[in-house]
Amino acid sequence: MTKDQSAAASERIIIFDTTMRDGEQSPGCSMNLEEKLRIAEYLDEMGVDVMEAGFPIASNGDFEAVTEVSKIVKNAKVAGLSRSGYKDIDRAWEALRHAQQPRIHTFISTSPLHMKHKLQMSPEAVHEAVVDSISHARNLCEDVEWSPEDGTRTERDFLCKCVESAIKAGAATINIPDTVGYTIPDEFADIIGMLRDRVPNIDKAVISVHCHNDLGLAVANTLAAIKAGARQAECTINGIGERAGNASLEEIVMGLRVRHDLMPYENGIVTEKIIGASRLLSSVTGFAVQPNKAIVGANAFAHEAGIHQDGVLKHAGTYEIMTPESVGLLQSSLVLGKHSGRHAFRDKLEQLGFELGDNAVQEAFVRFKALADKKKDVYDEDIIALVEDEITQASEAIKFVSLGIIAGSKGPQQADLELEIDGKVRAIQATGDGPVDATFNAISALMSHTAKLQLYQVHAVTEGTDAQAQVTVRLEEDGKSVNGQGADTDTLVASAKAYIHALNKLIVKRAKTAPEALSA
Ligand code: KIV
Ligand code: ZN
């Protein structure tokens, strides 16, 4: 690389997505293999440079996910997280070795608080572990990233010493995590500037940042660090992650784009795919985005006040600093009606980004026709909910067959339910305290389990009383929680499907027990 090329390259911000690792650590956000593969494929098309697919030693499920994501990703680097022990690093490599561009991301805590109370290690022992872990990882994989956990609360001399040794041992990326979301923009920029000034070999590594949002400053801290010289930003779709979450990918990327005058850095994200990524993640995790969330919230481009509406009609720039189209928000369009044919339906699926085989298209078409019979107007959002529901139910051990309900104020509410369990149709009748309770009791009677219901949430997919209901159910069993989703014009059918979806996920989760407890 010539000097000029390396200067140009240094103006590019590497987007490191950790939705499938740190994002998955949000309570209730766990994803199964099929869901992670869908997300990985989408992130790859959207242009992330690195995707962290999981923490392979954490569970067999994580190991399998990192392995399978590694096999399918075409463009991005695939990272797997590991603590500093050789067993962790070897397990990460075992999963990552299938990737075209693998990266081992290893970390150890360096703050006085973490070293004393969590690790119970002296600073000297931690420093030795930094060098050992990176040397070991480099023997396996050329691309190694190192993170001093709780970096922003680490003593500066010790941070500089560890970073210098980490680079000497072979780490090409040094990631400074604000693990507990404690720093503020000025301080964080100062830490990055200090590393650039004081670590003699810092030019041999890319400085990365990883900010948590406990004070609502994750994106501000990330942008301040970029201005101070960081060239990799770690982030997640919709800002999901431990506790208050991580810096959100869409806010960082659109911040860089909209304020290119002050932050003249490039990145490879196809911004028009941002809304799609946000919706895909919400539908997989059941975590709806708050309406006023920047960039991807339902109100992010809505103008309520008359004076604003008037301004936007005269010139969109009066109240919009970016166009809805630039993040992939298209006008919700009336798609098809009950007279629409298969060909138009298939075209619509392609337009919405679904790549389905002939059988799946046919099944979705039959459901679309049934929906168009019940519902006057069918919108893009209806088609998305319908197809996602179809994809969800297709590969499950327990399948919904039919539901009859007696509801109202007169008698005991009753559910008549039919499920297909491992290929056999079974029927049952159950009562309950309301029709939802009766439905869930019927499912539990057919499929005995000890899981507790933690969340039951209903959203209307579009406007109007004939809208499809999208239901999220969260179940918890032995400390593990899973979200299930279901969609239907009948809220109770959608509720049954969501509960069944969650149960199916629990069955898969039970089969994948953690090989050992983690204390990272
Ligand atoms: O927040 C954190 O410190 C992390 C590290 C493992 C990078 O997630
Ligand atoms: Zn983190």
Q: What is the DSSP string of 51-86?
A: EEEE-TTT-HHHHHHHHHHHHH-SSSEEEEEE-SSH
Pairing mode, if any, of strands 50-54 and 334-336?
unpaired
From the CA of 146, the nearest ligand is 1
Both tokens of 155, joined, read 């003593």
Burial class (CB in 10 A: 0-12, 13-18, 19+), 442: buried
Ligand 1 closest atom vs CA 520: 6
> Is residue 198's pLDDT more than 80?
yes
Torsion sign across C-alpha atoms 423, 424, 425, 431: negative
CA of 243 to the centre of ligand 2 (A): 10
Is residue 259 within 8 A of residue 248, CB to CB? The reply is no
Q: Which fold has domain 3-285?
A: TIM Barrel (3.20.20)
Pocket test for ligand 1, best of 105, 113, 149 (most atoms within 8 A of CB): 149
**Residue 255: per-residue pLDDT:** 98
Q: Which token pair is 62? A: 């994580």
Residues with Cβ–ion distance below 5 A, ligand 2: 22
Q: What is the DSSP letter of 50?
A: E
Residue nearest to atom 2 of ligand 1 (CA): 179
- How many separate helices (H) and strands (E) can be counted in the chain? 17, 16
Give CA–CA dist 491/465, Å, rounded. 11
Nearest atom, ligand 1, residue 234 CA: 7
Q: Which of 136-150, 295-309, 400-414, 506-520: highest mean pLDDT?
A: 136-150
Ligand nearest to the CA of 242: 2
What pLDDT is attached to residue 381?
76
Ligand 1 centroid – CA 459 distance (Å)? 33
Using the predicted structure, report yes or no on whether residue 5 has a pLDDT greater than 50: no
The pLDDT of 380-394, averaged and rounded, is 76
The answer to whether the CB of 134 falls within 8 A of the CB of 166 is yes
Q: Look up the CATH superfamily of 396-510.
A: Alpha-isopropylmalate synthase LeuA, regulatory domain (3.30.160.270)
What is the whole-number distance in angstroms between the Cα of residue 269 and the centre of ligand 2? 21
pLDDT at 289: 86
Rounded distance between C-alpha atoms, residue 467 and residue 257, angstroms: 36
Cβ distance 73 to 111 under 8 Å?
no
329, 296 contact by CB (below 8 A): no
Angle at 437 between CA 413 and CA 453, to 5 degrees: 180
The predicted pLDDT at position 239 comes to: 97
d(CA 493, CA 514): 34
Q: What is the dihedral of CA 114, 116, 119, 123, to 10 degrees?
A: 90
Residue 212 CA, closest ligand 1 atom number: 1
* Element (DSSP H or E) covering residue 103: strand 102-109
Q: pLDDT tens digits for 440-491?
A: 999 999 998 999 998 898 888 777 777 888 898 988 888 777 778 888 989 9
Residue 520: which pLDDT band, with cuts at 50, 70 and 90?
A: very low
Give the residue-averaged pLDDT of 137-141.
98
The CA distances from residue 288 to 257, 271, 278, 292, 460, in Å, are 25, 20, 9, 12, 12
Residue 25 CA, ligand 2 centroid: distance in Å: 9
Taking the model in full, what pTM does it have?
Answer: 0.80
CB 127 within 8 A of CB 165: yes
Give the mutation target among 179, 188, 211 for probing the ligand 1 site: most ligand atoms within 8 A of CB.
Answer: 179
Expressed in angstroms and rounded, the spacing between residue 89 Cα and the centre of ligand 1 is 16
What pLDDT is recorded for position 314?
A: 79
Ligand positioned closest to the Cα atom of 177 = 1
Average pLDDT over residues 222-243: 97
- One-letter amino acid of 366: V
Judge whether 474 and 453 are in contact, CB under 8 Å.
yes
Q: Which band of pLDDT confidence, cut at 50, 70 and 90, is reported for residue 394?
A: low
pLDDT digits (tens, 9 = 90+) for 95-131: 999 999 999 999 999 999 999 999 999 999 999 999 9
**pLDDT attached to residue 3:** 42
pLDDT at 484: 85
Q: How confident is the model at residue 333 (pLDDT cuts 50, 70, 90)?
A: low
Say which residue, 290 or 333, is predicted with more confidence: 290
pLDDT of residue 74: 98
**Nearest Cα residue to atom 1 of ligand 1:** 179
| Residue whose structure tokens are 């572990």 | 129
Give the per-residue pLDDT at 515.
Answer: 44
3-class secondary-structure state, position 452: strand
Q: What is the mean pLDDT of the chain?
A: 89
pLDDT at position 83 over 80? yes
Mean pLDDT on 252-279: 96
Residue ranges lining ligand 1, Cβ < 6 Å: 22, 81, 107, 147, 149, 175, 177, 179, 210, 212
SS3 content of the chain, % helix, strand, coil (to 5): 45, 20, 35
pLDDT at 40: 97
pLDDT exceeds 70 at position 511: no
Relative to the CA of 175, which ligand 1 atom is closest?
Answer: 7
Distance of CA 101 to the CA centre of its chain: 21
348 phi, psi to nearest 5 deg? -65, -40
* CA nearest to 39, candidates 24, 56, 26: 24
Residue nearest ligand 1's atom 3 by CA: 179
Task: Report in angstroms the alpha-carbon separations of 518 from 19, 170, 320, 514.
Answer: 20, 26, 46, 9
Which atom of ligand 1 lies nearest, measured to the CA of 150?
3
Distance 210 CA to ligand 2 centre (A): 6
d(CA 243, CA 447): 33
Spell out the SS3 assignment of 221-260. Answer: HHHHHHHCCCCEEEEEHHHCCCCCCECEHHHHHHHHHHCC
Pocket test for ligand 1, best of 210, 213, 242 (most atoms within 8 A of CB): 210
Measured at the CA of 16, the angle between CA 15 and CA 19, to 5 degrees, comes to: 120
Residue 253, both tokens: 């990327």
